[in-house]
A and B are shown apart, each in its own frame.
Chain A
Amino acid sequence: MIEGAIWRRWVFFYVPLTSFIVLLLFPFYWMVITTIRPDGELYRPWNSIKYNPFWTWHPTLDHIRDLLTQTLFMTWMLNTMIIALSATAISLFCGLLAGYALSRLRFPFAGSLGTAIFITYLVPQTLLFIPLADIIRNFRLGDSPWALILTYPTFLIPFCTWLMMGYFKSIPKELEECARIDGATRWKAMLYIIFPIAVPGILSAGIFAFTLSWNEFLYALVFLSSPEEKTVPVGVTSELIRGDVFYWGELMAGALLGSIPVAFVYSFFVEHYVASVTGSVKG
């Protein structure tokens, strides 16, 4: 704690921390308040008198109703859910096996392969999306969920592998050796001794992978074109804006509802999530 007078505590601790929290959370508050505010109140110029933007006395669910009935929002939610879950499952499977191999087994090129996977972890989508769009077109995967289910693992696997490697390294080798002395094969020792212990690590990686796939935008924007195939981020940004008109009530309702699955998962597994965020940059 800060030593000295109470004013010092306020100046150096409470005021800055509160400002940070308010600034970081205000856009979400703004999302919520815009969603439930009737259109008549929404479109009042910022300099009009008697205008209180932070509160409404006439909350309405019209925007949410319009979003759910007049747009394909629920289809996008379903698409995103299927894609995010499948991509996460594939990535966890690959990352778990690769992480085990790279941290526990001795084989030629282990070091360079580990380095290669680490490098792919740093590759941004921006570098690859144009040739990848061409490849997706050639494979006839364009405009189908498979385009994303197969490409999302490219940025999820390196991360999962990296996280699992760190986790496996923390499990003592003796555990496996004991099992093998008792007659278990390598395969069984891995499957029945090491993987069950690694469940918390798998959970962390899975949650992080799920939120990353839910958030992805560039690939989804480029690889999908029909409105009913889109994911939430792409659908909300491209389909809810008709021409040059922004329906802010609906847009904010879409942003709010589209964030809920991620926020929901996050709220239950905050500690796992924080562990994976901090683990993701450990050298």
Chain B
Amino acid sequence: MTFTTIAAPRAYVGSPRRGPITRLLEDERWLATLLLLPTVLLLGLFIAYPFVKGVMLSVTDTRVGVPGHFVGLQNFVNVWEDGIFRVAVWNTCVYTFLATVFKLVLGLWLAVLLNRHFRGKAITRAFILLPFIIPTVLSTLAWKWMFDPTFSVINWGLFRLGVIHARINWLGDPNLALISVIIVNIWRGLPFYAITLLAGLQTISPELHEAAAIDGARAWQRFRHVTWPLLLPVTLVVTLFSVIQTFADFQLVYVLTGGGPANATQLFATYAYQIGIGTGLLSQGATISLAVFPVLLLVVIFQLFYIRKAEVH
């Protein structure tokens, strides 16, 4: 024990051959300040400041090139009374809910399939992640082409299989457009769920399954009572993460329909873009995009609560 006290690093701190800066950096607080400075600066300038600015914009009537005046909550009243905004609220909720449910269920299924041993597992996993890594806008363009009203390959396939007799206008039909957009979102997000849930599955010891099997549990019972409870923490984190992303989704809808036909696929993000950037009504647009905030807040609170709880355990 005495040895450690003699050789403790503190003994060197004040040694004369070190300059003042080195000595300053020996202090954990100064070193931490220096190391965190670039991060805090960038995040402060381009996240915290825009957020404050967004809130300030939402209580004025600023347009591009026209400095605004304080109007209180007028923008929020306007937005709330705006019929298109209400449609966007509904669409965004439907979009998020359906896409998340399908991504979770199908992703879990795929993860369970991938968790088995089979030849070519590594390459299969690599290929499955492709929809997630290829630039979304570019793969969405391929979908737009597949959904083309005149040349749709999906229609061709369904026609040949005898499922349909007339063409389906995937993106042009207001009743179908939202569903088509959701399908593409599921296609893109499913690999993310599958791969992260697979990582969660791999941490579950096979011995638990064997023990359950010896006790006579069937495959479904083993999944329900062994796998699912152990996988729940990862599932929650993945789902919450994806809910925010889906709720705030922009690029997919922008490319496929631009919010149309007749606002049938209008989401918060596309509507905020249309108003804030398209028509230059900065304040109105900022107010609409703030609609994402409550959901973000809920998820953040839930995450923090959950992480705290996990840390205690």
Contacts and interface: CB of A to CB of B under 8 A. Distances in A.
Contacts of B118: 13
A89 to B, nearest CB: 12
B70 interface: no
Contacts of B12: 180, 183
A124 interface: yes
B237 interface: yes
Contacts of B73: none
Nearest to B8: A181
Interface string A222-258: 1000000000111011000000001010011011101
Contacts of B46: 132, 135, 150-151, 153-154
Contact of A117 (B39, B110, B300): B39
B128 A128 contact: no
A222 B237 CA distance: 30
A24 B35 contact: no
B259 interface: no
B270 to A, nearest CB: 9
A266 B250 CA distance: 24
Interface string A104-132: 01111010010101111011111111111
B248 A154 contact: no
Interface residues of B, number: 111
Interface stretch (B77-85, B94-102, B172-180, B287-295): B287-295
A237 B141 contact: yes
B113 A53 contact: no
Contacts, number: 309
Given A126-B289, A281-B241, A108 B142 contact: no
Contact of A251 (B110, B127, B132, B141): B141
Q: Is the interface of B mostly helix, strand, loop or mixed?
A: helix
24 contacts: A24-B187, A25-B127, A28-B134, A42-B151, A45-B150, A46-B151, A51-B156, A105-B28, A129-B276, A132-B46, A134-B282, A153-B42, A154-B43, A181-B7, A186-B31, A211-B133, A215-B135, A217-B254, A218-B273, A222-B273, A237-B255, A246-B148, A273-B129, A283-B237
Interface of A: 1-3, 13, 16-17, 20-21, 23-25, 27-28, 30-31, 34, 42-47, 51, 53, 90, 93-95, 97-98, 100-102, 105-108, 110, 113, 115, 117-120, 122-135, 150-151, 153-154, 157-158, 161, 177, 180-181, 183, 185-187, 211, 214-215, 217-218, 221-222, 232-234, 236-237, 246, 248, 251-252, 254-256, 258-259, 262-263, 266-267, 270, 273-274, 277-278, 281-283
Interface of B: 7-9, 12, 18, 22, 25-26, 28-29, 31-33, 35-36, 38-40, 42-43, 46-47, 49-51, 53-54, 57, 62, 106, 109-110, 113-114, 116-118, 122, 124-139, 141-143, 145-146, 148, 150-153, 155-156, 159, 167, 187, 190-192, 195-196, 199, 219, 233-234, 237-238, 241, 244-245, 247-251, 254-255, 268-269, 272-273, 276-277, 282, 285-286, 289-290, 292-293, 296, 299-300, 303-304, 306-307, 310
